[in-house]
């Protein structure tokens, strides 16, 4: 068996794997799972982002007292 035959076998196996992956991804059984995954970025819209209130209070106090570095 020479290198050309080995490369041909590997190429054939990769083509079969690719076709199998595409068949799996586009099968009707997977559609509900992929639809749910597609809507995940919109799932937490009701929650407010977690802000660091300590940092914002420090910024507000610096605005009130002026910049001490000048």
Examine the pLDDT at 33 and tell me if it is beyond 80: yes
Task: Give the total number of structural domains in the chain.
Answer: 1
Query: Which of the two residues, 57 and 12, has the higher pLDDT score?
Result: 12
Mean pLDDT, the chain, integer? 81
Residue range 13-17: mean pLDDT, rounded? 98
The predicted pLDDT at position 44 comes to 77
User: What's the 3-state SS for the chain?
Assistant: CCHHHHHHHHHHHHHHHHHHHHHHHCCCCCHHHHHHHHCHHHCCCCCCCCCCHHHHHHHHHHHHHCCCCC
CB contact set of 30 (below 8 Å; sequence gap of 6+): 24
Q: What is the pLDDT of residue 57?
A: 60
**In which domain, by residue range, is 14 found?**
1-26
Residue 58 covered by a domain: no
Tokens (6 digits) for 64: 């009130």
Q: Is residue 10 part of a domain?
A: yes
Average pLDDT over residues 64-68: 61
Per the domain annotation, does 9 fall within a domain? Answer: yes
Highest mean pLDDT among 19-23, 37-41, 49-53 belongs to 19-23
């Amino acid at each position: 068996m020479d290198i050309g035959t080995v490369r041909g076998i590997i190429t054939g196996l990769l083509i079969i794997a690719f076709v199998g992956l595409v068949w799996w991804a586009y099968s009707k059984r997977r559609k509900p799972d992929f639809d749910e995954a597609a809507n995940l970025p919109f799932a937490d819209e009701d929650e407010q982002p977690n802000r660091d209130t300590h940092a914002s209070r420090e910024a507000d106090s610096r605005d009130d007292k002026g910049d001490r570095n000048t």
